[in-house]
Structure formats: structure tokens, C-alpha cells
Amino acid sequence: MPETTSPAIRVLVVDDQHLIRLGFRMVLDAESDIDVVGEASDGDAALRRAIELSPDVILMDVRMPEVDGIAATKRIVAAQPSARIIVLTTFDLDEYAFGALRAGASGFLLKDVRAAELTSAIRAVHGGDAALSPRITRKMLDLFSDSVPDDAADERDVPEPLAQLTARERDVFVAIASGKTNAEIARDLFLSESTVKTHVGRVLGKVHARDRVHLVILAHNWGVVPGTPSP
């Protein structure tokens, strides 16, 4: 039988600078499993192109004139929930980028990212993972700290979705909230990566999280702080 191959990951590149779009396209066009299906130079155009092209992954510049990446991310997530968005910024720990993550983006990258890291991030978010390091995750949680009361983790206030998790699923929930990859979770919990992947899928479904970034935000809103026992 002929060998079957998975469809290429369809990518939309959004940036107000032509040379940056061109640079990303040159890198991505060299990958056999990634197909750049379109470009956009601002948030309004990004929304139109996202609806027209239904890309799997969108590389989204966070700072653009008129409609910025945060507003565009909100609109695209509402219109195309299946699209995965990676926000791009020139500045490390840019609060604009964290706003886009909270708006529904699945990843965060600096514009000077290496080619291998860029393609790895695209494949990761397309596969349901998150393109976030633990350091970025920790900073994101810190930025949200003022929105959660001190007693949010009180056992009496455990949200119903979290209460439905098994003990092992709670372990996985907290590990994801810490920014750990499936490989790291497997190592720490003495599980196979395939078992971890199964647990991750169940956890995302039970807590109604769109992806791992959304789960990190839910974890903080519910008072489940990485490094402390879960409720």
C-alpha cells in the first residue's frame, strides 16, 4: 500500500512589516510539512484572511497600527475557534503579548526566534501543545495575580470541572499549569508520553480548556498555583 502522509500545516503570517513576513515565509517554505497559505499586514486583514483561508496556525504580530494583535486574536478565536495563534513580539516578556495569550493565543515567540524553534512551535501548537517556556508561564501567572482573591484555592470553592478530575488528572493539571511539556510530565510522574497525552486530552476536556495556555489561565483563576497542592 502507498504510504500516507499527513496534510501540511496551513500557516497565515501576520505582520505589518513586509520584510519580516518575507523572512518567516522563506523559513517556513523550506519545511515539507508546513504550507504558508497567506499573509496579512494588520489585524483587520488577519481576520478576513483567517475566515477566508481557515489556517491551522497563525503567526500574529502583537504590535500593529489600527487593529493590534490582541484585538485580532480575540476576533479570530471567536470566528475560527480551531485556529491556533502564536503571538510574536520584539520584546521579551512584553505585556502586550500576554494580553494576546489571555485573548486566546496558544503561544509566545520573540521575532528573533531561531528557525528550528519557530517550526517546532508551529508543530507544537498544531498538535495541541503550547509554545511557552516555564519562565514565560510563571510571568504570565504573575501578571494575572491581582485578579484572584487570596482564598481562591479554598476547598469550599473548588470549581465543578476541577472537582471532576481524578487524582492523577489533577497531577497532570498542575504540571500543565507549571508550563511542563508532555515529556517532562512523563518523567516526573513516571508515565509514558502516550499515557500523558491521553491524560492531557481528558483534562482539557473536563475543564473545558481550549488548549494548554487556556488551562494555565483557568488554573490561576481557580487558585491552583503551580508548586502548591491542588484543591
Give the pLDDT score at 66. Answer: 83
Sheet order of strands, 9-14 included: 34-40, 9-14, 57-61, 84-89, 107-110
Task: Judge contact between 40 and 49, C-beta under 8 A.
Answer: yes
Per-residue pLDDT reduced to its tens digit, 126-159 = 877 766 655 566 666 566 554 444 443 444 355 7
Per-residue pLDDT reduced to its tens digit, 49-108 = 999 999 999 999 988 888 888 899 999 998 988 889 998 887 765 677 677 777 888 888
Q: In this structure, what are the phi and psi dihedrals at residue 12, rounded to the nearest 5 degrees? A: -110, 130
pTM, 2 dp: 0.71
Terminal Cα distance for the chain, rounded: 51
Give the pLDDT score at 143. Answer: 62
CA distance 191 to 214: 24
Give the pLDDT score at 140. Answer: 63
Average pLDDT rounded to a whole number, residues 100-119: 84
Is 60 exceeded by the pLDDT of residue 231?
Answer: no
Give the pLDDT score at 149. Answer: 43
Per-residue pLDDT reduced to its tens digit, 5-33 = 678 999 999 999 999 999 999 999 999 99
Give the pLDDT score at 40. Answer: 94
Give the pLDDT score at 55. Answer: 95
Give the pLDDT score at 92. Answer: 63
Give the pLDDT score at 230. Answer: 43
Q: Pairing state of beta strands 84-89 and 9-14?
A: unpaired
Domains and CATH numbers, the chain: 9-131 (3.40.50.2300), 143-221 (1.10.10.10)
Please, how many CA atoms are within 13 Å of residue 97, restricted to the half-sphere of its CB?
Answer: 24
CA distance 231 to 24: 43
Based on DSSP, count helices (H) and strands (E) in the chain, helices before strands. Answer: 11, 5
Per-residue pLDDT reduced to its tens digit, 201-223 = 899 889 888 777 788 778 877 87
Contact residues for 124 (Cβ-Cβ < 8 A; gap 6+): 107, 130, 131
Per-residue pLDDT reduced to its tens digit, 156-198 = 355 788 888 999 999 999 888 877 778 889 999 999 988 988 9
Contact residues for 169 (Cβ-Cβ < 8 A; gap 6+): 199, 202, 203, 206
